[in-house]
Amino acid sequence: MLDLKIRRLIEQLSAREREVLRGLLDGRTSKEIAVSLDISPKTVDVHRANVVKKMGVTSSAELIRLVGPNSGSQPRFRSASGVEKS
């Protein structure tokens, strides 16, 4: 289970930032995430930088260690429609 502090930080992300985070945790590249979200890879990179900053880490690798599958937790995300997904 994710630490409560980490869950609260994830909840503070915008819906688009959570979608980008989900893509990162799935191991997808910026280009792959961009295609799936119908946005530019540069926009994905901006969202990724915002997520890194908001989560209080210094890199995408650190972010993935914090909330990724190897952290012993299974993050849950709320989609833009409010539906919770794992």
Please report, for the chain, the start and end positions of each structural domain, with discontinuous segments joined by +.
4-73
**pLDDT given at position 48:** 97
Q: What is the mean pLDDT of the chain?
A: 85
The string of DSSP letters for 27-46 reads T--HHHHHHHHTS-HHHHHH
**pLDDT given at position 86:** 52
**Class for the domain spanning 4-73:** mainly alpha
The residues pairing with 84 across neighbouring beta strands, listed in sequence order, are: 78
Report the alpha-carbon distance of residue 49 to residue 42 in Å, rounded.
11
**pLDDT given at position 68:** 78
Instruction: State pLDDT tens for residues 3-35.
Output: 888 999 999 999 999 999 999 999 999 999 999
